[in-house]
């Protein structure tokens, strides 16, 4: 990521999950780079086993509580409409960085179908068309079973389910969501 605040937040989260009582493994196990994700394929094509592609999105939860800089402000309409384009470009970039057999996890914090399944569809189509790269979208429904008692998944409640990924609905009780993620593996 090129945003300093997002990088710090990511490092803090990873440090919380990848540590023991005597050592912090986050910086040893995960490579953190502060640069545009769009330039990575030129530097690191076919380099990684796993890539997390957590893209900028409309951040629905934050937008509800924040007036300043809110992406849903009328003055930011053009910027908001370009978000799926940027997301797809970032996902395509991530997909080019994984080795054959490697996987990309694409994630957002929005309920927007176009920013979720729509971006995955577009990135799959573009990487096939432009680069001849083949990917499969993994079915994560079995892996999510243990979480169904504590999270609300859209496929249980929504009339239009996600086709490629898992959509976790906002939950006031758990103070969590929305969250979307899809796992895409290179053939």
pLDDT tens-digit series, residues 100-146: 999 999 999 898 999 999 999 999 999 999 999 999 999 999 999 99
Provide the 10 A C-beta neighbour count for residue 31. 9
pLDDT at 165 (0 to 100): 95
Closest CA to 181 of 169, 165, 170: 165
DSSP string, 37-79: GGGHHHHHTT-EEEEEEE-----HHHHHH--TT-TTSGGGHHH
Q: Does the annotation mark 57 as catalytic?
A: no
Catalytic position from the list 53, 57, 97, 109: 109
Mean of pLDDT values over 87-95: 97
Higher pLDDT, 105 or 69: 105
Token pair 């300093």 in the structure block, residue = 4
Provide the 10 A C-beta neighbour count for residue 158. 14
| Cβ atoms of 80 and 71 closer than 8 Å | yes
Is 65's pLDDT higher than 70?
no
pLDDT at 73 (0 to 100): 65
Q: In 80-108, which positions are buried (b, 16+ CB within 10 angstroms) versus exposed (e)? A: beebbebbbbbbbbbbbbbeeebbbbbbb
Closest CA to 165 of 183, 182, 145: 182
**pTM to 2 decimal places:** 0.84
CA–CA separation, 137 and 182 (whole Å): 7
% of the chain surpassing 70 pLDDT: 83
pLDDT at 117 (0 to 100): 96
């Amino acid at each position: 990521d090129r945003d300093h605040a997002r990088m710090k937040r990511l490092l803090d989260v990873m440090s919380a999950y990848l540590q023991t009582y005597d050592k912090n493994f986050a910086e040893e196990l995960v490579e953190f780079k502060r640069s545009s994700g769009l330039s990575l394929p030129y530097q690191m094509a076919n380099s990684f086993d796993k890539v997390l592609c957590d893209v900028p999105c409309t951040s629905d939860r934050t937008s509800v509580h924040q007036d300043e800089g809110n992406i849903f402000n009328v003055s930011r309409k053009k910027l908001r409409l370009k978000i799926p384009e940027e997301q797809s470009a970032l996902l395509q970039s991530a997909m080019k960085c994984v080795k054959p057999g490697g996987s990309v996890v694409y994630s957002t914090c929005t309920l927007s179908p176009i920013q979720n399944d729509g971006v995955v569809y577009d990135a799959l189509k573009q990487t096939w068309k432009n680069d001849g790269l083949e990917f499969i979208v993994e079915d994560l429904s079995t892996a999510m079973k243990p979480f169904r008692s504590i999270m609300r998944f859209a496929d249980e409640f929504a009339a239009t389910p996600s086709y490629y990924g898992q959509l976790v609905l906002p939950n006031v009780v758990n103070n969590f969501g929305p969250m979307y993620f899809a796992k895409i593996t290179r053939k």
